[in-house]
Amino acid sequence: MGNLVSGLKIKRVTVFLALVSLAAFWVGCESSSTTADEHEGFTGFWMAVDQTDGGFNRLSLTENADGTINLGLSETHVSSCLGGRGTLSGSGVLDAGVLTVPITIQCLSGEEATYNKPKGDPIGPLPVTFEFVGDNLIEFYFAPIELRVSYHRISSD
């Protein structure tokens, strides 16, 4: 996720971003008007390379029974995990080609004995959006630091 936040300022920034994300989520819930076609454009498996840090990202978007979109994202380099690996998760609302999701980041251990085990407390929720750009392309956007990452569809749901 690039240079998300520095280690020492993470608590204040996390609280601020959590409030912003909740506001964005509530607004998205109130104005949601999705169609099945919109969901088909987003659901599936996506991949990207974050140009800011070279991290490899794998993204899964699936539709929940209530019409929201569930997000599961695995990254090889997450700045808020001090450059280590992490997972991001959340569920959001799709409206007019834009998916708004409050995500939570969970850093993962890189130590051999505890590999892939959660490391530290989760960070978030943080407000992110995904915008449908084309048939096989969506763009991730994290507004507080102007981070954009393009994801390419690998398979559909």
Q: Mean of the pLDDT values across residues 87-115?
A: 90
Does residue 4 lie within any of the structural domains?
no
Q: What is the CATH number of the domain that holds 101?
A: 2.40.128
The span from the CA of 10 to the CA of 54, in Å, is 22
Domain count for the chain: 1
pLDDT at site 134: 81
pLDDT in tens, 45-90: 999 998 888 889 999 999 999 999 999 999 999 888 888 899 999 9
The reported pLDDT for the residue numbered 34 is 42
- The pLDDT tens digits of the residues spanning 120-151 come to 999 999 999 999 888 789 999 988 788 889 99
Per-residue buried b or exposed e for 98-108, using 16+ beta carbons within 10 Å of the residue's own CB: bbbbbbbbbbb
Residue 110: give the domain boundaries: 10-156
